[in-house]
Amino acid sequence: MVGVTDEETEPDAAEVGVGPWPGPWPDDPRLDPELLELGDRRNVVDAYRYWRREAIVADLDERRHDFHVAIENWRHDFNIGTVVRNANAFAAKAVHIIGKRRWNRRGAMVTDRYQHVEHHSTVEEFVAWAAAEGLAVVGVDNLPGSVPIETASLPRRAVLVFGQEGPGLSEPVRDVCSMICSITQFGSTRSINAGVASGIAMHAWIREHVFEQRTPE
């Protein structure tokens, strides 16, 4: 039985979700008896109400997309929770953290329970993994010579890599990227944070490979 804690809910959780199951319990092994009894206030879509966590992960595994996401974590982890949450929203295959293993999960809003998160202690380890999986390493950073993501064609089997907040992609990661994409901006700030950038980049992949939409060059 999976206990339901406050950590599994969003603020004002009493206003979302569903209460105890009305009537006789359904005969479905995917459903959690405790959630059926107490109600389900978790941060999940309605289709997964009352489902066991393991059943949700298994169902997502059947339809995750072909792209992965990676983020460097050498100094601090301000954006990693948001990256994980975005990866869950867009059904990324997995999130890969390069550098320090520890990160603040609060920003993920418990989506890390349903999203595969892997760790690579060095850039070399990450690169070896990507090569073994046959994935193109695509950097996302506003660097000289980068290609605007709005017009770029992203590889279907790819890992989208984001740098540390502030310095951006490290030089060792830049050196192994098959392409580096930038996100066009129109205001006064020189950059947007990695959490926001990750959502834009993942959606660009979705538009091209799920909806077959891409702006002509």
Q: What is the CATH number of the domain that holds 131?
A: 3.40.1280.10
Instruction: Give pLDDT, residue 1.
Output: 37
Instruction: Give pLDDT, residue 18.
Output: 95
- Residue 97 and residue 44 in one domain: no
Counts of helices then strands in the chain (DSSP H, E): 6, 7
In 3D space, the residue among 98, 4, 9, 96 whose CA is nearest the CA of residue 52 turns out to be: 4
In a domain, 217, yes or no: no
- Residue 99 and residue 47 in one domain: no
Instruction: Give pLDDT, residue 11.
Output: 46
- Residue 47 and residue 129 in one domain: no
Instruction: Give pLDDT, residue 123.
Output: 97
Instruction: Give pLDDT, residue 8.
Output: 52
- Residue 99 and residue 17 in one domain: no
Overall number of domains in the chain: 2
In 3D space, the residue among 33, 84, 80, 30 whose CA is nearest the CA of residue 57 turns out to be: 30
- Residue 48 and residue 71 in one domain: no
Pairwise CA distance, residues 73 & 91, whole Å: 22
- Residue 141 and residue 202 in one domain: yes
Which residue range(s) make up the domain with 166? 67-209
Contact 37, 2 (CB under 8 A): no
pLDDT in tens, 32-81: 999 999 999 999 999 999 999 999 999 999 999 999 999 999 887 779 99
- Residue 46 and residue 153 in one domain: no
Instruction: Give pLDDT, residue 214.
Output: 65
Contact 162, 204 (CB under 8 A): no
* Average pLDDT of the residues of the chain: 91
- Residue 45 and residue 108 in one domain: no
Read off the pTM.
0.89
Token couple for 93: 């295959």
Pairwise CA distance, residues 98 & 104, whole Å: 15
User: Element (H or E) spanning 99, and its range?
Assistant: strand 95-99
- Residue 156 and residue 86 in one domain: yes
Weakly modelled stretches of the chain, pLDDT under 70: 1-15, 214-217
